[in-house]
């Protein structure tokens, strides 16, 4: 959609972010934000889902880098969702569900790889992901088996 693409280009310019590569939206593709060069690899925003993906990667650079992956993903997600809603009144449940799952995976990685403690997870993130310390512990046990 031309309106989405124009908006994304305006956001890129506003935040001094360059496009490393525009991609065709593909649900199996991984998109990226490069902090050092302030570049993104994003899909051409042709629907609300690809618009949110593009905003998410831009959101990483707008919101900054974080030690723990789940915090970086959550902040980029919240920025993307808020921006899309404010500009286009978009609420995409499928996108948000995928985002919750991705942040949950990052929580597990931060615990298992970066040795983060469960009680270090901010409560707003736990609430948005719809999880509890008990669910996380059960998932960790499955990973360790």
What domain count does the chain have? 1
Say if strands 39-43 and 32-34 run parallel, antiparallel, or are unpaired: antiparallel
At 67-91, the pLDDT tens digits run: 899 999 999 999 999 999 999 999 9
Residues with Cβ within 8 Å of 19's Cβ and at least 6 positions away in sequence, in order, are: 12, 39, 40, 41, 42
Where b means 16+ CB within 10 Å and e means fewer, 33-47 reads beeeeebbbbbebee
Domain boundaries, position 116: 2-144
CA separation for the pair 6, 32 (Å, rounded): 20
Token digits for 144?
Answer: 């360790």
Q: For residue range 11-44, what is the model confidence (pLDDT) as tens digits?
A: 999 999 999 989 888 888 889 999 999 999 999 9
Q: Tens digits of per-residue pLDDT, 107-136?
A: 999 999 999 999 999 999 999 999 999 999
Q: What percent of the chain lies above the pLDDT cut of 70?
A: 99
State if pTM tops 0.95: no
């Amino acid at each position: 959609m031309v309106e989405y693409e124009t908006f994304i280009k305006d956001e890129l310019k506003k935040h001094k972010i360059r496009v490393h590569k525009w991609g065709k939206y593909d649900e199996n593709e991984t998109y990226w934000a490069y902090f050092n060069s302030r570049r993104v690899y994003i899909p051409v925003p042709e629907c609300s889902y690809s618009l949110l993906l593009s905003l998410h990667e831009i959101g990483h650079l707008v919101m900054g880098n974080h030690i723990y992956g789940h915090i970086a993903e959550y902040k980029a997600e919240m920025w993307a969702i808020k921006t899309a809603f404010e500009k286009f009144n978009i609420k995409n449940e499928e996108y948000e569900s995928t985002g919750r799952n991705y942040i949950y995976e990052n929580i597990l990685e931060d615990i298992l790889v970066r040795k983060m403690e469960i009680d270090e997870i901010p409560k707003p993130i736990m609430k948005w992901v719809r999880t509890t310390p008990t669910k996380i512990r059960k998932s960790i046990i499955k990973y360790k088996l």
